[in-house]
Amino acid sequence: MNDTDTAVLSRSARRSALLSLFGTIAVAIAMVATFWQLHNARENLGLARDEERQLRSRGEKLKLENEQRVAENVQRAAENRKLQEQATEMRSKLEGQRTALEAVRSAVTAFHASKFDLAVKSYDEALKADPENPYVQKLRAYSLFRLNRVDEAIAAELQALEGDKNYARGYFDLARFYCKRATERTQPEADAQRQDEEKALEAIKTMLHLDQKMSSEMRDDSEFMRYCGHILPL
């Protein structure tokens, strides 16, 4: 091998070494580029996941807020319906009381004109409009009493007292009615007569327990004394 061949081989070896070096550098650069691509991809993936979590959290928060608003709207609607129902009920009661008041005025006028049948009918109309009014029932009871429908009067007075157990004047009239029925009992009805008188005394005791001032009014009432005077203590 001459010098020329040696020089050619040397140049060829150097060229191969350079090419190998350049290849190694290129591979290294490619690996670095790939590493940074992977690194950036991981960061982007992490950012995407964080953003997804934030979006999910925001979505859940918005969902809860929306559900709360819906619940509040439902509750508000229910409250509005309840208020409307109460207002309707109040209007109905007021209208009933107005109608009842007009009927009571007619009944009182009829009573003072001794038209007791008409008075009872007017009180019935008043009770249709205001069925829970014990005072109308009491006035009706006394009109029945004046018609000598004593059993009905007692039943009506008892019903009135169910509506107001502390109404002393109601027991006053109840005693009157029992005494009247007792005086109309015949001898074969002696037991029933005694029971009526006992019920009258019980009503008087309740009346005086509620209002001691009724004692003088009771003794000043000639009708009451005519029916009940004989059972009163001296």
Could you read off the pLDDT of 9-52 as tens digits, one per residue?
A: 566 767 777 667 777 787 778 787 777 777 777 777 777 777 77
| Structural contact between residues 123 and 136, judged by C-beta atoms closer than 8 angstroms | yes
CA distance 175 to 169: 10
Residue 135 tokens read as 């005072």
Closest CA to 139 of 155, 158, 119, 125: 119
Residue 64 tokens read as 């809860």
At 52 the pLDDT is: 78
Residue 208 tokens read as 């005086």
Q: What is the CATH number of domain 132-231?
A: 1.25.40.10
At 46 the pLDDT is: 76
CA distance 107 to 140: 9
Residue 217 tokens read as 């009014």
CA distance 129 to 100: 5
Query: Can you give the residue ranges of every domain in the chain?
Result: 14-123, 132-231
Residue-by-residue pLDDT tens, the chain, 234 positions: 556 666 655 667 677 776 677 777 877 787 877 777 777 777 777 777 777 788 788 878 878 788 888 777 777 766 667 646 654 555 555 566 788 889 899 999 999 999 999 999 999 999 998 888 999 999 999 999 999 999 999 999 999 999 999 999 999 999 999 999 999 988 788 999 999 999 999 999 999 999 999 999 999 999 999 999 999 876
> How many C-beta atoms surround the C-beta of residue 146 within 10 A?
14
The model's pTM is 0.62
3 state SS for the chain: CCHHHHHHHHHHHHHHHHHHHHHHHHHHHHHHHHHHHHHHHHHHHHHHHHHHHHHHHHHHHHHHHHHHHHHHHHHHHHHHHHHHHHHHHHHHHHHHHHHHHHHHHHHHHHHHCCCHHHHHHHHHHHHHHCCCCHHHHHHHHHHHHHCCCHHHHHHHHHHHHHHCCCCHHHHHHHHHHHHHHHHCCCHHHHHHHHHHHHHHHHHHHHHHHHCCCHHHHHHHCHHHHHHHHHHCCC
At 37 the pLDDT is: 78
At 33 the pLDDT is: 75
